[in-house]
Amino acid sequence: MSYKQNKMKTATPPLKVVTAPEVQRQRLLNRVAALYHQSFEEDPKGRDYLAQAGLKDLSVLTDFQTGWVNGSLLATIPEESELQEHMKALGLIDREGREVLAGCVVFPWFNETGDCAGLYGLRVETGEVVLVPGTVSGVWNWQALKRGRAVILTSSILDALFLSQAGFKEVIWTQDDEGLSQDHLRLFQRHGLKEAYVTFSSPYVLAQLKEEEITAHLVKLPPLPVEPTVIEWALKEANAQTPIRSEEVKKREPSGFEKEATGFSIQYGERRYEIKGVEKSKTKLKVTVKAFPAGEKKKFYLDSVDLYSHRGRVLFAKAFGTSFAVDEGLIQEDLGKLIEVAERYEPEEGPKAPAFTMTKEQEGEALSFLKDPKLLDRILEDFEACGLTGEEANKLMGYLCAVSRKLDDPLSVLIQSRSAAGKSTLQDAVLRFVPREDYEKYTRLTGQALFYKAEGGLCHKLLAIEEEGGMREAGYSIRNLQSSKALSIATTGKDPVTGKLKTSEYQVKGPVSLMLTTTSVDMDYETQNRFITLTIDESKEMTERILSNQRVLETLEGMKQRREQEKITAKHQNAQRLLKPLAVVNPYATKLTFPASTLRARRDHKKYLGIIKTIAFLHQYQRQVKTYTLEGETVSYIEVELSDIEKANRLAGEILGQTVGELSAPSRALLGIVRGMAKDKGRSYRFTRRDIREFSGWSDFQVKTHIQELTDLEYLYSVTGKKGKEYVYELVAADVSDGQGKEGKPFLAGLTKVEALNPI
């Protein structure tokens, strides 16, 4: 924004000039300037006007004693007084007694002794410029000459303030675009000025500078305000060797660079960045960034970002800026600078961590374990020895899910229970037996997190998420990874070489096995039916077993158990490392049956076949490895045996039997509780939710939630009591098992019995 002084007028000389001592006149002008500045600080009108123009840094306006004229001056002096006559003599009051600068934002300038030398007013309503000359000449911001031997000259006071706000402190407002005053030239000589960067066109000013042997550079500034870097570029276009720099830009420049084996840290201004895991390719520059705002050491924002992705940088800047009230533009600028630093970064050469190698003894122990005919029983014994009691079906299913990661169609499990029931304990117990290099565990996943993993970073791995709620943003990508066994995303960004926009594609390859935990009773159906649901035993008997086991761990026997657990863990991890990526063929597949009463059976049937395949795969060292050749390629495989199907039928009956029926697992558990409560009390037995809570120990929220499902599906009748709000329930007379067998245990009807299959 450039404000020419074509509207400028000098205050009308007063009719009567009262002679006063020069010192008195100077003091009066100083007091008026101070009064105007006080009004500027107290009355927001002047500040609001300048803020709308782009001058928002109050520290800059305060430094230059900016003022606002709202009539307070006339209110402080009596009419027809000698003081008023002095004001007229100074040009502050006109011949009618009106304040000349009324309604103006005022910009004073000062001489070398600190006295006000003049007042420049900009009328807010009309844009009119009013110059009130003082009794002494001076130079606006003459202190800039002390900073160096180069200055920026501007004929607009607003441009001068914009430049100062942008960090260019060497700016001087000339007060006139027609020429420099004798005070300007005198101070230029005194301070040895060598260069002047002129931002306005004035042949006379250029001639004056040349006569004073000051090198003049004509600068083409864009309309102000603009980013400080843009102004620096304009100065460099005028003179590539310019010594003038923006203080704001200097604050953004890097400092405190430290290189580490896994990354580096660097600071831009008051923002510090710690960079880890630099992954470079022709189209990607992925890093993990821990960003700290000013003065913070413990609070930070952490995320992974592709620095070549414009969208990635914008999202990071927005999240960091919102979290800590930091300007997003500055953060984006920082990330742009980080690109060059990250491109140059090379990790320090050091001894590489050797790939895991088993000793002969470890390999022999793991191989002996895999060849044990009672392998599944051994697995359950080891879970028990490691502190996880009961839950046999859940433990086996979790273990098989982890092992299935090595197959082309892995299994995925969802562990569902109330809070504190032990779902995380089961997940951790399964992960303990998996080699650390074969699983990734997260508390939360953002919507785009998986799309930016390394292409093979998840292939044949187990992905564990502590709570289903932490992956809801990533629900779509997880479902896609399960169905398509790959993720792909196309993003538009600038080519780091050409600077042109281009489309880049990111791909993450599967397959991947997933293990989630959740307390949710109303989980997204589209996500849930892709998992095998495991429900934790929440009975009092199981609680007593767990508490007893916890007490044992506090004894000397418990200490011995913990030592033994480390050996058991190492054995299982080594055994899983020995499992080879063999194909599994099921010669009995066409003879198997599965209940087809619901549409969900289409997915549950695949889970059932996957359980059979995984059991056979786990027993690969007890199978003959066969081969076949197709189009010149030899493929190794093993075959499913009847014993695998028998084990799978038992496991599927208990696990899938809970999901084939129409009831959710928690509602089915509540139905079992109600049946137990109503046992031997006759068909007419009625009960309330309070009765259920007292009998089961469930919370009111859980009872309300699941009793509604039992009522909707007609397992219970609800009857409104006398009070109108008390609900009384009774079991339906024709109550059926809904997937439950003897003693209420889940079972899966319709599976082919092993006895009906002929050995092949």
Return the higher-pLDDT residue of 401 and 298: 401
The count of other CB atoms within 10 Å of the CB of residue 362 is 17
Give first-to-last CA distance, the chain, whole Å.
Answer: 89
Q: Tell me the pLDDT band of 517, cut-offs 50, 70 and 90.
A: confident
Calpha distance 161→168 (Å, rounded): 9
Question: Do both 328 and 377 map to the same domain?
Answer: no
Per-residue pLDDT reduced to its tens digit, 264-295: 999 888 889 999 989 888 788 999 999 998 77
Calpha distance 171→168 (Å, rounded): 6
Listed residues 286, 310, 344: the one ending a domain: 344
Residue 3 inside a domain? The answer is: no
Residue 580: per-residue pLDDT = 92
Tell me what percent of the residues of the chain surpass a pLDDT of 90: 36
Question: Do both 514 and 372 map to the same domain?
Answer: yes
Q: Tell me the pLDDT band of 733, cut-offs 50, 70 and 90.
A: low
Residue 469 inside a domain? The answer is: yes
Question: Do both 413 and 561 map to the same domain?
Answer: yes
The answer, yes or no, to whether residue 207 has pLDDT greater than 90, is: yes
Q: How many domains does the chain have?
A: 6
Residue 750 inside a domain? The answer is: no
Residue 556 inside a domain? The answer is: yes
Q: Tell me the pLDDT band of 742, cut-offs 50, 70 and 90.
A: very low
Question: Do both 599 and 626 map to the same domain?
Answer: yes
Question: Do both 13 and 69 map to the same domain?
Answer: yes
Residue 452 inside a domain? The answer is: yes
The answer, yes or no, to whether residue 576 has pLDDT greater than 50, is: yes
Kindly list the strands in the beta sheet with 195-198, ordered across the sheet, starting from the edge strand earlier in the chain: 171-173, 150-154, 195-198, 215-218
Question: Do both 425 and 545 map to the same domain?
Answer: yes
Calpha distance 15→363 (Å, rounded): 111
Question: Do both 429 and 375 map to the same domain?
Answer: yes
Per-residue pLDDT reduced to its tens digit, 598-616: 667 777 889 899 999 999 9
- The CATH number that applies at residue 204 is 3.40.50.11230
Residue 725 inside a domain? The answer is: yes
CB 532 within 8 A of CB 402: no
Average confidence score pLDDT of the chain = 82
Per-residue pLDDT reduced to its tens digit, 169-205: 999 999 877 789 899 999 999 999 999 999 999 999 9
Residue 743 inside a domain? The answer is: no
User: Which residues constitute the domain of residue 668?
Assistant: 662-738
Q: How far is CA 482 from CA 411, 434, 486, in A?
A: 9, 20, 8
Listed residues 279, 310, 344: the one ending a domain: 344
- The CATH number that applies at residue 28 is 3.90.980.10
Count Cα neighbours of 598 within 13 Å in the Cβ-side half-sphere.
14
Residue 399: per-residue pLDDT = 95
Residue 27 inside a domain? The answer is: yes
The answer, yes or no, to whether residue 720 has pLDDT greater than 70, is: no
Question: Do both 563 and 452 map to the same domain?
Answer: yes
Listed residues 578, 595, 616: the one ending a domain: 578
Residue 703: per-residue pLDDT = 81
CB 206 within 8 A of CB 198: yes
The answer, yes or no, to whether residue 256 has pLDDT greater than 90, is: no
Tell me what percent of the residues of the chain surpass a pLDDT of 70: 85
- The CATH number that applies at residue 433 is 3.40.50.300
Return the higher-pLDDT residue of 58 and 745: 58
Calpha distance 128→610 (Å, rounded): 83
The count of other CB atoms within 10 Å of the CB of residue 418 is 16
The answer, yes or no, to whether residue 511 has pLDDT greater than 70, is: yes
- Average pLDDT score over residue span 666-689: 79
Q: Tell me the pLDDT band of 361, cut-offs 50, 70 and 90.
A: very high
- Average pLDDT score over residue span 143-164: 94
Q: Tell me the pLDDT band of 737, cut-offs 50, 70 and 90.
A: very low
Question: Do both 108 and 38 map to the same domain?
Answer: yes
What 3-state DSSP class applies to 505?
strand
Question: Do both 432 and 283 map to the same domain?
Answer: no
Return the higher-pLDDT residue of 654 and 58: 58
**Would you give the distance in Å from CA 589 to the centre of its chain?**
47
Please give, one letter per residue, the 3-state secondary structure of 500-517. CEEEEEEEEECCEEEEEE
Question: Do both 613 and 702 map to the same domain?
Answer: no
Question: Do both 367 and 505 map to the same domain?
Answer: yes
Please give, one letter per residue, the 3-state secondary structure of 10-49. ECCCCCCCCCCCHHHHHHHHHHHHHHHHHHHHHCHHHHHH
pTM of model > 0.75? no
Per-residue pLDDT reduced to its tens digit, 426-474: 889 999 999 998 998 887 777 677 776 777 888 899 988 887 666 666 7
CB 395 within 8 A of CB 426: yes
